[in-house]
Amino acid sequence: MLYFAFGSNMLPSRLQRRCPTARVRARAIAPGYRVAFDKLSEDSSGKANLVCCDNEEPAIGIVYELSSDDLGKLDAFEGPGYRRQDDFVVTCVETGQALRTCTYVAIERAPGLRPYDWYLALVLAGLACHDIDPSYAKALRMTRFETDEESSRMSRRNALQDLVTAGYPEYLSLLHAPA
């Protein structure tokens, strides 16, 4: 199965903790879509979502290959707030080839939400890990975020561990990297 990741799952250490068979296949764009942080999370913050757009810069992400068992695990991790969209076509950055993937889109949008600092750092770390266009990362870095003051939050603790595993022990530096 091919899966298009555009949010926190772009970071290999995060996705592979959840889905051990996940392997990077390509960098890709999703023409006609952009990333917004308007999916309401269980913790009331905004998570990444694909939103239809016309002339804006398209969403950039990573295509992973994973087993059908891991796809089932990913369905469970993405939870009830996302629906899996099969037959989602993206374009490989390197070859221009169309790839038929699946991805996850929010069931309901809640404009005005903000991601937590650690969540936005996961997205930015994923972009950096795959050497994705710095201007795209710069645009996402402009996203207004909330500082998560709840240090015991399990999703925060897991995210910070994923960032450390990926070589980002000082995750706040990702949010304020030079242009």
CA angle 38, 163, 26 (to 5 degrees): 70
132-159 pLDDT, tens per residue?
988 999 999 999 999 999 999 999 999 9
Alpha carbons 133 and 92: distance in angstroms, whole number: 14
Residue 57 has what pLDDT? 82
Sign of the torsion angle spanned by Cα atoms 22, 133, 125, 108: negative
DSSP state of 57: P
| Partners of 28 in the β-ladder | 61, 92
CA-wise closest residue to 140 among 1, 14, 10: 10
Q: How far apart are CA 37 and CA 124, in angstroms?
A: 13
Taking 50 as the pLDDT cut, the residues of the chain under it are: none
CB atoms within 10 A of CB 99: 16
Take residue 36 and report the two structure tokens written for it: 């917004």
**Which residue type does 99 have?**
L
pLDDT for the residue numbered 110: 94
Using the structure block, give the residue that is written with the tokens 């309901």: 108
Would you list the domain boundaries of the chain? 2-175
The yes/no answer on whether domain 2-175 falls in CATH 3.10.490.10 is yes
Percentage of the chain modeled with pLDDT above 90: 93
Q: Is the Cβ–Cβ distance between 73 and 18 less than 8 Å? A: yes
| Encoded amino acid at 49, one letter | N
Distance CA 140, CA 144 (A): 9
pTM: 0.95
